[in-house]
A = this chain, B = another copy of it.
Amino acid sequence: MGRENKTIYAILGFLNHEDLSGYDLKKRIDGSLSYFWAAGFGQIYPSLNLLERNGWVSKKAEDKEGGREKILYSITESGRKELLTWLSTPVEKEYVKFEILLKLFFGSQIKADKNIENVKDFKDRYIGQLGILKHFDENLRNHLGESEDHLYYLLTVLFGEKLYKAYVEWADEAIEVLENSKKNNKGGELN
């Protein structure tokens, strides 16, 4: 599972820009990281406590006329140092699980058409996602230069586009291979 709570770095990263509450952090994460790094309240609030115990963030209740109290967190100097250290550390190997592949690996046990259907479902999902990413992409390109950050945001979007395109291309190939295998039962011609 990666053995270390890296969501704390997502939190530190945002707090490095501005003071935020747990609720705000959730919105920031949902709005920009969620495609490759999601987090729920059940993880954010405990993580904030952990960060505070480590002295990497400090909290203060925001004065607020009316409404529920809001707790704002600020990054500390040692928190900023921790963030920068982590940013400069080489990435660990990612660990990915693809249910679609687990299903296909044992696919000979069911009809080819069923497998094709599963692959099509998979494909359609990412065609939809590609459309969303395209908007992000265009938006970011229009605002490049306003802030150096946008360049980095764009790099993450480019990754998503490459990734989802690879999914879709693979799905098309897989569907073709499976369609062929229905006709010539002896394994189907490849290439």
Residue positions of A touching B, CB distance < 8 A: 2, 6, 9-10, 13, 16, 32-33, 36-38, 83-84, 86-88, 90-110, 114-115, 117-118, 121-122, 125, 141, 144-145, 147-156, 158-159, 162-163, 165-167, 169-170, 173-174, 177-178, 181, 186-188, 190
Contact = CB atoms under 8 A, between A and B. Distances in A.
A11 to B, nearest CB: 11
Given A37-B98, A91-B118, A166-B165, A104 B187 contact: no
Contact of A110 (B88, B103, B165): B88
Contacts of A93: 125
A43 to B, nearest CB: 11
Number of copies of this protein chain within its complex: 2
20 contacts: A6-B102, A9-B103, A13-B105, A16-B106, A36-B98, A86-B103, A91-B100, A91-B103, A91-B121, A91-B122, A94-B97, A108-B148, A108-B152, A141-B190, A144-B187, A145-B187, A151-B181, A151-B187, A155-B177, A159-B170
A32 to B, nearest CB: 7
A33 to B, nearest CB: 6
Contacts of A162: 166-167, 169-170, 173
B169 A36 contact: no
Contacts of A90: 117-118, 121
Contacts of A155: 104, 107, 174, 177-178
Given A106-B83, A165-B166, A187-B148, A101 B158 contact: no
Given A162-B169, A177-B151, A99 B103 contact: no
Given A96-B36, A114-B87, A170-B162, A105 B151 contact: no
